[in-house]
Amino acid sequence: MEYRIEHDSLGEVKVPADKYWAAQTERSHENFPIGVGIETMPREITHAFGILKKAAAIANNGLKPEKMTDEKLDAISKACDEVISGSLNDHFPLVVWQTGSGTQSNMNANEVIANRANEIAGKKLCHPNDDINMSQSSNDTFPTAMHISAVLILEDKLIPAAQKLIDTFKKLEDENQGIVKSGRTHLQDAVPISFSQEISGWRTSLERDIELIKLALEPLRELALGGTAVGTGLNAPKGFDVKVAEEISKLSGKKFITAGNKFHALTSKDEIVFAHGAIKAMAADMMKIANDVRWLASGPRVGLGEITIPSNEPGSSIMPGKVNPTQCEAVTMVAVQVMGNDVAVGMAASQGNFELNVFMPVAAYNFLQSARLLSEAIVSFNDRCVVGIKADKEKMHNNLHNSLMLVTALNPYIGYENAAKTSHLAFEENISLKEACVKLGFMTPEEFDKVFHPEEMI
């Protein structure tokens, strides 16, 4: 491998000749051999840095054109566009496990953009710190990148994924109108419910989760950029914070504003904690929905078997013909991961000392992993399982009419205690509710038939 010599305030460093990064990125690459190639800084953060660095250059060009010249802006903008597109991803090698402020990832962006901008310009035009990092600090750029990436992944990935599943549930509700089945509470028989009503509970849970995520999005729209090192805005021109938020909004197509209090924006991660809580709420609902589906599909002969789901792959290396609810299992495992990530995000947010939180990379990593995994799990669950759900009407009918909790319909006529006696006798002697009720003398067969209509109990 060929190398070139770069330097920083600590001296000279050998850097791979074919990479745009420079000395500070290389030092981090060498000093943090933790999770290399596996736990790289999320590409959503890299993408966000491309947006915010271009926005900063545009803002600086308007506020201090003598330093951020049109020539520099043109070269920087073109380099940032390549970062945004992902074509320079190979030049962002740093792992999550680095400095807690994300300084090295900020410098990675500064160095890559500067060197690529210089290549575009055909001369040494831009300096990583003086030009790409102009009016900024790692302490305000990294939290800004966190908020940009969070808004983008929630609006563009997680919400659409959940909405796709909601739409499938709506279709299933329409297809299953009029099918009555046994309800279940505490994993025990309960009074009847229609299958469409059961599905509507799943749908509404996700609709509420989207509402919660949208509430959590609003605080994430506030950006720390302009606070620089400790929140005072040192070395940033007046109006930079407002201008750069406007430019980020234009470039991202999302609404962003400058944070009202930069001291809070640098040290507190409460917005990330709150938003991840909404992600966790969706994960909890997905855990419940996936469990319901695999319980209802259990069998095929000695389980509940009230629905069938697609057979996607063989389920056993020893039992021929076995098929398992694998999409449900994937969803539930992702839900567990999200719940674990929520602990990490909360712990990281609690570790801000004085003017800066220094657990930002791990908070960003877990937040983005949760949103990404949950989005992809929901889409896979929808496409490979939910769209193929079919009700077994005969099994639902048989289970319904075999349920002892239908006795609840008799409460108004024979009272709670007599109804309980009827249920117990039917269970103990393995006879029907009608037979038990008549045997106990609470009703005649004709009276029972007149008031006992399970399909009307929903």
Active site residues: 186, 316
Q: How far is CA 361 from the centre of its chain?
A: 17
**Which tokens go with 150?**
């969070």
Residue type, 376: E
Q: How far apart are CA 381 and CA 387, in angstroms?
A: 9
Q: How far is CA 117 from the centre of its chain?
A: 34
- Asked if 213 and 203 count as a contact pair (C-beta separation under 8 A), the reply is no
Closest CA to 423 of 186, 457, 411, 398: 411
Using H for helix, E for strand and C for coil, what is the string for the chain? CCEEEEEECCEEEEEECCCCCCHHHHHHHHHCCCCCCCCECCHHHHHHHHHHHHHHHHHHHHHCCCCCCHHHHHHHHHHHHHHHHCCCHHHCCCECCCCCCCHHHHHHHHHHHHHHHHHHHCCCCCCHHHHHCCCCCHHHHHHHHHHHHHHHHHHHHHHHHHHHHHHHHHHHHHHCCCCEEEEEECCEEEEEEEHHHHHHHHHHHHHHHHHHHHHHHHHHCEECCCCCCCCCCCCCCCCHHHHHHHHHHHHHCCCCEECCCHHHHHHCCHHHHHHHHHHHHHHHHHHHHHHHHHHHCCCCCCCCCCEECCCCCCCCCCCCCCCCCHHHHHHHHHHHHHHHHHHHHHHHHCCEECCEECCHHHHHHHHHHHHHHHHHHHHHHHHHCHHHCEECHHHHHHHHHHCHHHHHHHHHHHCHHHHHHHHHHHHHHCCCHHHHHHHCCCCCHHHHHHHCCHHHCC
- Asked if 158 and 149 count as a contact pair (C-beta separation under 8 A), the reply is no
- Asked if 398 and 406 count as a contact pair (C-beta separation under 8 A), the reply is no
Q: How far apart are CA 118 and CA 26, in angstroms?
A: 19
Q: How far apart are CA 400 and CA 304, in angstroms?
A: 12
